Amino acid sequence: MPHKAKPAAALKGLSALIVEDESMVAMLLEDLLTEFGCTPVFVASRVDLALARVKETRFDIAVLDVNLDGEASYPVADELDRRNLPFLFATGYGAQAIPESYRRHIVLQKPFRKQQFEAALLKALRGESQA
């Protein structure tokens, strides 16, 4: 029987913001973050809602989809950068589609495995670049 890896202790107790317009993907991310010990988890499906969350809510890390129903989430990334909050991009486009100015952030290409998501979160928290 395979041994289940325990989530990294660094994630336990952290709060997270999910910026994702596909409800099934948002629910999957929410479930994974909860499994990693992150709580509470906030979800925003549009740029304006995400910006409001960033300005009104305290959280430790954010996961951004790039394309939110045709609108890029880069204004959210800019605000997170201004506030020095760690985040990563989770996108179907891959790192090559991310503008150069944002490529220093971790880009996780969808679909991804649970372990890849966990590793990307930890890298983002440590402030590591995509490289």
**Residue 119 counted as domain residue:** yes
**Residue 24, domain member (yes or no):** yes
Domain count, the chain: 1
Which pTM was predicted?
0.91
Q: What CATH number does the domain containing 42 carry?
A: 3.40.50.2300
Determine the pLDDT at residue 3.
43
Distances in whole angstroms, Cα of residue 13 to Cα of each of 41, 47, 50, 62? 11, 26, 21, 14
Is 120 inside any structural domain? yes
Q: What is the pLDDT along the chain (131 residues), one digit of tens a residue?
A: 444 556 578 999 999 999 999 999 999 999 999 999 998 889 999 999 999 999 999 999 999 999 999 999 999 999 999 999 999 999 988 788 899 999 899 999 999 999 999 999 999 999 988 75
Please check whether residue 5 lies inside any domain of the structure. no
Task: Specify if 2 maps to a domain.
Answer: no
Alpha carbon separation from 69 to 66, 98, 103 (Å, rounded) = 10, 17, 22
Q: Give the structural domain span for 23.
A: 10-126
Task: Tell me, yes or no, whether 70 lies in a domain.
Answer: yes
The answer to whether position 115 is within a domain reads yes
| Predicted local confidence at residue 126, as pLDDT | 93
Both tokens of residue 98?
């991310």
